[in-house]
């Protein structure tokens, strides 16, 4: 994968902070304004790919419908040097996936605050008519104080209307295999309860260091999401409370109707329980 050029118009790129299959994310300085920003740029090999350009423009469109302190702000879409890119708010903290590799005990003192903030951010998205569809530790940046930014709105989708819900119109499965809800695998219409499932997978990983289901192939992983009983979180973390184990099981219900009815309901449950019997010590 080729490196994005050091200069994109008025942007001078510095440290690389993220990388995906088709995009790189960099810290940068906008010399026109003097501001430090983040830049999400399509890699040179994909510069002419209209699909990647469309995803970036879609991400900007979604962001313009949102206004929440725990959701990354995206300022503009631009093209320079032939490379489409987004210019967005810089939040210079590692994502939760990277932080998990240092051990879940390091996250434990902030865990309740982190999950609460992510849930409120998703509730805001749902209230504005959007489903994120890719909730996972990689897509949450978190500070040492537990402040978060939900990122990567590229595959966010409008909540389905009544006709699509009634018809059950199918669509290609989209989402990350370790965190994807059963209805997303089946290509069925998604709603906020799909994000609840993915947040349940994320919470499981924040407590145990691994997602609830693992497999050697994507197909086997999908089958586990569709049919396997999630393991008990306390089997991997004896410090996890009975209350959080019960909440995770409910969030990971195979049928959306068996999950909490809304992200607001999840927030209420989170506020009423402890995740860990003890923190520190």
Q: pLDDT digit string (tens) for 74-120? A: 999 999 989 999 999 999 999 999 999 999 999 999 999 999 999 99
220 has catalytic annotation: no
The first and second tokens of residue 205, run together, are: 């990983």
Q: pTM (2 decimals)?
A: 0.93
Identify the pLDDT of residue 132.
98
CB atoms under 10 Å from CB of 163, counted, come to 8
DSSP string, the chain: -PPPPSEETTEEEEEEEEE-SSEEEEEEEETTTTEEEEEEEE-GGGTT-HHHHHHHHHHHHHHHT---TTB--EEEEEEETTEEEEEE----S-BHHHHHTT-HHHHGGGHHHHHHHHHHHHHHHHHTTEE-S--SGGGEEE-TTS-EEE---TT-EEPP-HHHHHHT------S-TTT--HHHHTTPPP-HHHHHHHHHHHHHHHHHSS-S---SSHHHHHHHHHHPPPPPGGGT-TTB-HHHHHHHHHHT-SSGGGS-SSHHHHHHHHHTS-SBS----
Average pLDDT, the chain: 93
Identify the pLDDT of residue 122.
98
The domain made up of 7-88 is a member of CATH 3.30.200.20: yes
Q: Which CATH class is domain 96-271?
A: mainly alpha
As beta bridge partners, residue 83 has: 80
What pLDDT band is residue 163 in, cutting at 50, 70 and 90?
Answer: very low
Least reliable range by pLDDT among 10-14, 37-41, 277-281: 277-281
Q: Where are the domains of the chain?
A: 7-88, 96-271
pLDDT tens track for 216-275: 999 999 999 999 999 999 999 999 999 999 999 999 999 999 999 999 999 999 999 999
Asked if 41 contacts 49 with a C-beta cutoff of 8 angstroms, the reply is: no
Place of tokens 């350009």: 53
Asked if 106 contacts 99 with a C-beta cutoff of 8 angstroms, the reply is: yes
Give me the count of residues in the chain: 281
State the catalytic residue, choosing from 61, 67, 123, 134: 134
């Amino acid at each position: 994968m080729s490196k994005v050029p050091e200069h994109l118009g008025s942007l001078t790129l510095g440290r690389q902070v993220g990388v995906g299959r088709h995009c790189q994310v960099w810290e940068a300085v906008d010399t026109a304004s003097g501001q430090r920003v983040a830049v999400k740029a399509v890699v040179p090999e994909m510069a002419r790919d209209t699909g990647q350009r469309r995803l970036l423009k879609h991400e900007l469109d979604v962001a313009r419908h949102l206004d929440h302190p725990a959701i990354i702000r995206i300022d503009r879409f631009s093209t320079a040097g032939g490379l489409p890119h987004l210019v967005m708010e810089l939040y210079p903290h590692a994502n939760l996936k990277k932080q998990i590799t240092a051990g879940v005990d390091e996250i434990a003192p902030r865990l309740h605050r982190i999950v609460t903030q992510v849930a409120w951010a998703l509730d805001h998205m749902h209230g504005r008519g959007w489903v994120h569809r890719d909730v996972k530790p990689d897509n949450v940046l978190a500070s040492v104080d537990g402040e978060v930014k939900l990122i990567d709105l590229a595959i966010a989708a409008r909540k389905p209307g009544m006709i699509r819900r009634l018809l059950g119109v199918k669509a290609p499965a989209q989402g990350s295999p370790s965190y994807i809800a059963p209805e997303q695998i089946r290509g069925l219409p998604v709603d906020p309860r799909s994000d609840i499932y993915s947040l349940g997978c994320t919470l499981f990983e924040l407590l145990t260091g691994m997602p609830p289901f693992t497999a050697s192939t994507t197909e086997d992983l999908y089958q586990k999401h569709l049919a396997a009983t999630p393991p008990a979180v306390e089997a991997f973390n004896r410090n996890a409370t009975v209350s959080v184990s019960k909440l995770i099981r409910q969030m990971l219900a195979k049928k959306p109707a068996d999950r909490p009815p809304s992200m607001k309901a999840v927030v209420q449950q989170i506020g009423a329980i402890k995740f860990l019997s003890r923190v520190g010590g």
